[in-house]
Structure 1
Amino acid sequence: MHFSKKSLTEDGFTGFRPLDELDPMRIPQGPGVFVILRRGDFEPVFLSKSTAGTFKKKDPSLKREALEAEWVGDASVLYIGKASAGSQGNRGLRKQIQEFLDYGRGRPTVVWDARLIWQLRDAMDLTIAWKELPPSELNAAEAAYHASFVAAHGRLPYANLVQARPRK
């Protein structure tokens, strides 16, 4: 997979909304995988302090050198994540993405994984897309997307710090 808007669309991703224009009520409630993408002309400007909230009283900010080291210059996808249904069945894409946005606005939350997104000056100009999946396929799909991205780019997307592995 090339991880372009075209290839993601062909693979079943929908949405493709800028974060600053996203209406959470238009996001499906079911489980699935989501991606954060940048436009072709997006140039990273790293903030010295993240706009994200704290998690367990930890500052999500990284040093500029660490952010630059994580940047994948030839990739449009900056993050690949998943949204499970949760143990009570009340989570899913809408709730996970809303928490991701709230986290970027400085609210404390449990969304620690994609924190590098919120150290980009123009993070709200990024685009989000999603793909609904049955719960039984979710972990394998996330792991497969990560592996495919690594195969294409030699490393994980910018804001993915841990590679997903399929669970048995």
Structure 2
Amino acid sequence: MKQHGFEGFVSIGNLMTNPYQIPNEQGVYVVLCSHSMQPTFLAKGSGGLFKDKNPNVGIAELEENWIDNTSILYIGKAGGGSNATLLSRLIQYLKFGMGKKIGHWGGRYIWQLANSHDLIICWKATIDNPRDVEERMIAKFKAEHNGRRPFANLKD
């Protein structure tokens, strides 16, 4: 990821206490784990409600979505159709992970991992439309993983 211009590489736990190291620009971000991580799924994660919907899914669905031997768990975007910046969008995501009622439904499977605070987030500011960059990144991932999206990406 570093060779592709990504920066940060900070744990979720660290970002929850100090999010202001994230740039206030549009871009894309990625949630990473160690390449060999064996997940422990939680029946009830730390994710908050959005529109009063329960963010948790069954363990079987999490197991079905898990992909071994990859460090990329989720690819997200900030901007490109909204005024969101990496800072504002990731603050929303982190607050959702702390159980707050926040509008960040995407990537919610992350919060059903027992070690979610240890996962790493990196980001890349871009002048290109972040949605286009996100779509290309997901398409590349799918091409390398038999048509499967990253674990917590529920749409292309």
With normalisation by structure 2, the TM-score equals 0.93
* Residues 1:153 and 2:148 aligned together: no
Query: What does residue 124 of structure 2 align with?
Result: 131
Q: Secondary structure at the match of 1:34?
A: strand
Give the C-alpha shift of residue 74 in structure 1.
1.5
Q: In the alignment, which residue of structure 2 is the partner of 1:69?
A: 64
Aligned residues: 153
Partner of 1:50: 45
Give the superposition deviation at 1:40.
3.3
- The alignment status of 1:13 with 2:19, answered yes or no, reads no
Partner-residue secondary structure (3-state), 1:57: coil
1:30-54 CA-partner distances (Å, limit 9, x unpaired): 0000000002353210001121001
* SS of corresponding position for 1:94: helix
In structure 2, C-alpha distance between the alignment counterparts of 1:117 and 1:123, rounded to whole Å = 6
1:53-132 mapped onto 2 (5 Å cutoff):
53-84=48-79, 87=82, 89=83, 91-132=84-125
Which AA in structure 2 matches 1:78? L
Rounded Cα–Cα distance in structure 2 between residues aligned with 1:81 and 1:44:
21
Aligned to 2:21: 26
Q: Is the 8 A contact 1:83 1:96 kept in 2?
A: yes
Cα deviation digits, residues 18-75 of structure 1 (max 9, x gap)? 1111221110000000000002353210001121001111101100100000001121
Structure 2: any 5+ residue segments left out of the alignment?
Answer: none
Residue identity matched to 1:54: L
Q: Distance in 1 between matches of 2:48 and 2:32?
A: 21
| 1:112-152 CA-partner distances (Å, limit 9, x unpaired) | 01100000011000000000011x43221111000000001
Range with bigger deviation, 37-46 or 50-59? 37-46
Deviant stretches of 4+, over 6 Å: none
Over aligned residue pairs, what C-alpha RMSD do you find? 1.3
Check conservation: 2:27, 2:126, Cα contact below 8 A: yes
Structure 1 residues not aligned, in runs of 5+:
1-7, 164-168
Q: Distance between the aligned counterparts of 2:12 and 2:150, measured in 1?
A: 18
TM-score by length of 1: 0.87
